[in-house]
């Protein structure tokens, strides 16, 4: 493959990835767009969005939802994978199969089932943020699982655990002080994937709680009906947030690798 062709592929890939974002940004600052390019530019839509209290409230709820999902995903995945890799390696295949189940059920079916199950006693959680956080955690687990499981598979968990035990550490200390720093890059990658999945979740949120606890994707859909330019601005902000989070995770991964070595 010639160098010119490789450069062409890189340019084509860059255009494919960035053109939709650039188009969204152009639409968010356009006064009118009926031809190939906008007929004028303004920051009025951005100013209206940033001055809207409803936007900030929905953004805060989305951040709370996303970080809660990340915390729950890591809390469940890291100890579970440690136990499976250490003591029950034959169960790894079954666990991997189970993590794919959220992909089998459409969001509508999952939402209807959860509402029916939690609409009455003993746990009346229907139309509450707690049920939404739990449901989004379930559908985000497959994304985080891959990254965390790959990190555990690449690390020599048993050798590290035996070395820690020889120094008097139990399983809890071994996991916290030896295994977790080793697999931290994978955990960070899994956290970013879970955060991204939760941050952009619309269908399940709309069905489970709707505007009672309005998140950013729900607000964006509502805003698009009256202000498409403001909705495009939210799209750009979402991409910027995802990129910022990704670069932050990459920087932490580099620091983690250095500290482990």
pLDDT value of position 6: 83
Q: Using an 8 Å Cβ cutoff, are 31 and 22 in contact?
A: no
Total-model pTM: 0.87
155: left (phi over 0), alpha (psi -120 to 50) or beta: beta
Domains and CATH numbers, the chain: 44-251 (1.10.3720.10)
Count CB neighbours of 110 within 10 A.
19
Q: What is the pLDDT of residues 55-94, one digit of tens each?
A: 999 999 999 999 999 999 999 999 999 999 999 988 988 9
pLDDT value of position 253: 59
pLDDT value of position 255: 56
Q: What is the largest CA-CA distance in the chain?
A: 72
pLDDT value of position 260: 42
pLDDT value of position 232: 93
pLDDT value of position 259: 42
- b/e code 9-36 from CB counts within 10 Å (16+ = b): eeeeeeeeeeeeeeebbebbbbeeeeee
pLDDT value of position 1: 59
Return d(Cα 159, Cα 32) in angstroms, integer: 64
Task: Provide long-range contacts, Cβ within 8 A and 24+ apart, for 122-128.
Answer: 126/208, 127/208, 127/209, 127/210, 127/212, 128/209, 128/213
Q: Show pLDDT as tens, one digit a residue, over the chain (261 residues).
A: 578 888 888 888 888 878 888 889 999 999 888 887 888 889 999 999 999 999 999 999 999 999 999 999 999 999 999 999 999 988 988 988 888 888 887 778 888 889 888 988 888 888 899 999 999 999 998 889 988 999 998 888 888 898 888 888 888 999 999 999 899 888 988 998 899 899 989 989 999 998 899 999 999 999 998 899 999 999 999 888 878 877 776 676 555 544 444
pLDDT value of position 39: 85
What the block records as the tokens of 113 is 């089932």
DSSP letter at 114 equals: H
């Amino acid at each position: 493959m010639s160098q010119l062709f490789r450069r062409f592929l890189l340019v084509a890939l860059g255009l494919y990835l960035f053109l939709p974002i650039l188009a969204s940004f152009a639409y968010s600052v356009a006064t009118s767009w009926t031809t190939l390019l906008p007929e004028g530019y303004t920051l009025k839509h951005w100013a209206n969005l940033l001055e809207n209290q409803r936007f900030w409230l929905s953004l805060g709820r989305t951040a709370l939802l996303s970080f809660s999902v990340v915390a729950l995903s890591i809390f469940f995945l890291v100890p579970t994978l440690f136990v499976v890799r250490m003591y029950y390696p034959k169960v790894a295949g079954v666990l991997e199969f189970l993590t794919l189940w959220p992909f089998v059920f459409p969001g509508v079916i999952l939402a209807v089932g959860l509402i029916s199950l939690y609409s009455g006693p003993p746990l009346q959680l229907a139309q509450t943020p707690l049920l939404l956080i739990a449901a989004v955690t379930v559908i985000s687990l497959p994304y985080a699982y891959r990254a965390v499981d790959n990190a555990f598979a690449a690390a020599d968990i048993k050798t590290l655990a035996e070395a820690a035990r020889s120094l008097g550490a139990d399983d809890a200390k071994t996991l916290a002080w030896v295994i977790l720093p080793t697999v931290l890059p994978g955990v960070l990658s899994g956290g970013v994937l879970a955060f991204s999945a939760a941050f952009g979740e619309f269908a399940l949120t709309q069905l489970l709680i709707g505007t009672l606890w309005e998140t950013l994707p729900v607000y964006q859909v509502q805003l698009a009906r009256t202000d498409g330019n403001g909705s495009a601005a939210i799209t750009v902000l979402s991409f910027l947030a995802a990129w910022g989070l990704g670069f932050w995770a990459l920087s932490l991964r580099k620091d983690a690798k250095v500290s482990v070595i």
